[in-house]
Structure formats: C-alpha cells, structure tokens
Amino acid sequence: MKLSQFKFKLPEDKIALHPTKYRDESRLMVLHRNTGKIEHKMFKEVLEYFDDKDVFIFNDTKVFPARLYGNKEKTGARIEVFLLRELNEELRLWDVLVDPARKIRIGNKLYFGPDDSMVAEVIDNTTSRGRTLRFLYDGPHDEFKKALYELGETPLPHTIINRPVEPEDAERFQSIFAKKEGAVTAPTASLHFSRELMKRLEIKGVDFAYITLHAGLGNFRDIDVEDLTKHKMDSEQMFVDEAAVKTVNRAKDNGKNVCAVGTTVIRAIESAVSTDGHLKEFEGWTNKFIFPPYEFTVANSMISNFHMPLSTLLMIVAAFGGYEQVMDAYHVALKEGYRFGTYGDAMLILDK
C-alpha cells in the first residue's frame, strides 16, 4: 500500500487537548468488521461485548517523565532534552534527543534544575538530533534517578497535544495498571480503563493478560517513503511472560474472544507468535511494522484511539479492521464529532 492512501483532512478542533473528566466516559465507536455495521456508545459500554473467560491483553508499560529543559554552558541557551533510554546505570549514560540540535556538540555541558545542580556532558552524536549524555552525579543510582525524574515533565506528544503540560497529565497520561517503567509515550487505548470498569469486567468473568512493550517516539515519526514496504520502524523493547501466554492461549483454544488493547499490544503479540498461531514467551526487541493487508493470528478484536493521518498507528488499525471500512469509519467519526489523538475517543473492532 501507499502512504498517500492514509491521508485525510483532520481539523485541529477535532484533536483532543485534554482527557474526558472520567477515563471510561469517552465515546466508543464499535465497528463490526464482518458486516461493516457501526454503533456509537460510551466507552464503559465495552462491557456489553465480552463474556466469561474472554481475555483483554493490556500493555503494562509505565511512562517516565522524559522531557527536561536545561541550559548550555557559557551561552545559557535553553535546550530541550528528551530522555529515550538509559544505556548504562553505572556510568549514568543516556540515549537522548536534543533540540535545537545544531547547538549541541560533543564535549558540551548541559545544566538542569533551578540551581543547575544536575550536569550532563555530551559524549557522542547518534543521529541528527540524537546524543549520548553522561550525567555527572556521584550519589547512588536510585537517588540519581529520583533527582533526574523530578526535573522531568510528562512527555506529552506536542505534535498532537499542542499545549503546556498540566499537573493532571502526570496521572492521565498513564494507564491505571502501568507497572514496568520504560515508555516515553503512553499506550493510549489503555487510558480509557478506570478501576470501576476493570472491576466490572472482572465480575463478568473476563480475564486479563499483561504484556510489556516500552512505547517509543517512533510511533510519532513521519514516514518519508510513499512505498510502505520501504519504511523501517524503530525498535522497541518488549516482554511476554508465561502467565500472559497461558491466559491468552487458553482463551484461543476454548474459542473465546481475545481483545488486544491498543496498537502496541497488537505489535507485541504479532512479534511473539508461534507457527501454530499461539502466543509464546518473548524477551527482546521488535521493529514489526504492520499495514494492510496483514493476516492476524492472536487477537480477534481490538481497541484503539482515533489516530492521526499518515501514521503507522492508523495503518495497524486499518490492517485489523479492513482498509476501506476503517477509513469510512474515520470519516463517520469526523462527521459525528469524535475526538482524535492521545486523549481522544476510542474504537472497538469486532469480527462478529
């Protein structure tokens, strides 16, 4: 498929800048992919479509406060540093993006905090905006991490949510079951699940499986090739443990529904599938890129937000729900006033 097939006009006022007051009270569009039928619901009504022993697969990654603002030695120029991942605990080495990049060279020192107490030295260039920083901090690692994170802010994707970070974002840009730290962006479909909704699903007998995929900035990177087979995804670290494998495979073998909550879950489970279509344990990295046409093997339903035009996230949803049907559903969503993006409304795709 071609990149241009995923273009549509998205007015700015359709992009959600804030979450709904309650997590489970966003809108939910239900798309039945076998018939093309569309229903309009509240997110909490997702409960109606699942029964005893069906399974929801969640991504339990936890977002850390990855965006820092510092200043450059001598010039005092304000520099944004986006932490991607820690490379070496002992040496305090981090893989980061810097902006404006042209001002930041190897050997430069950057200062953070109101009293410039956190100092980092640039020791390598990795990409045009990428740098390796060594933080000059003497205390224990836990103390260093705490001090670093206190300087950081919630890493809202500014290309989508174009506003300053607010205190509520620390809680709302995180799922209620976030546990394993390592993501620089939230798996957005999971933001709709409240404690009350999880409890009600549990009472109904629905099982939960948790995998981990540390979502990175590659989810927002522009695709610069028209031929999608030539696009390369960034690698993201992921883990699928024995407990998740048992829960998911039992449901599959018993003909139950398996619902992937979000595009990160879809990519993770499709990266950890055995030849007979069962989920298998996995620990490593994935750069799997899914776009139509694609044969899915693990989940038969999925939940996702309404994504940006030309995004890899939209391509995954279109591969799952059928290109024509999903693009038609997006046009219905625009007409019906659904909210798009990270804090926007949700879509449930069912195969019945």
Under the banding of pLDDT at 50, 70 and 90, the label for residue 116 is: confident
Q: Can you give the pLDDT at residue 188? A: 95
Q: Can you give the pLDDT at residue 222? A: 81
Residue 81 and residue 333: Cα distance in Å, rounded?
A: 36
Q: Can you give the pLDDT at residue 125? A: 86
CATH number at residue 26: 3.40.1780.10
Q: Per-residue pLDDT averaged across 11-27, rounded?
A: 96
The domain tally of the chain equals 2
Q: Can you give the pLDDT at residue 57? A: 98
Q: Can you give the pLDDT at residue 101? A: 85
Q: Can you give the pLDDT at residue 24? A: 96
pLDDT in tens, 221-243: 788 899 999 998 888 999 999 99
pLDDT in tens, 249-273: 999 999 999 999 999 999 999 999 9
Under the banding of pLDDT at 50, 70 and 90, the label for residue 40 is: very high
Q: Can you give the pLDDT at residue 179? A: 96
- Who has greater pLDDT, 100 or 327? 327
pLDDT at 352 over 80: no
Q: Which of 120, 153, 186 is the last residue of a domain?
A: 153
For 48, the domain range is 3-63+170-350
pLDDT at 219 over 80: no
Q: Which of 99, 119, 153 is the last residue of a domain?
A: 153
Residues 208 and 333 occupy one common structural domain = yes
Under the banding of pLDDT at 50, 70 and 90, the label for residue 141 is: very high
Residue 203 forms part of a structural domain: yes
Residue 163 forms part of a structural domain: no
Statement: the pTM of the whole predicted model exceeds 0.85: yes
pLDDT at 94 over 90: yes
Q: Can you give the pLDDT at residue 133? A: 95
Residues 343 and 310 occupy one common structural domain = yes
CATH number at residue 84: 2.40.10.240
User: Amino acid identity, residue 110?
Assistant: L
Q: Can you give the pLDDT at residue 21? A: 95
Q: Per-residue pLDDT averaged across 300-329, rounded?
A: 96
Q: Across-strand partners of 125?
A: 131
pLDDT in tens, 165-193: 999 999 999 999 999 999 999 999 999 99
Residue 164 forms part of a structural domain: no
- The whole-chain average pLDDT of the chain stands at 94
Under the banding of pLDDT at 50, 70 and 90, the label for residue 350 is: very high
- Who has greater pLDDT, 113 or 192? 192
Q: Can you give the pLDDT at residue 347? A: 98
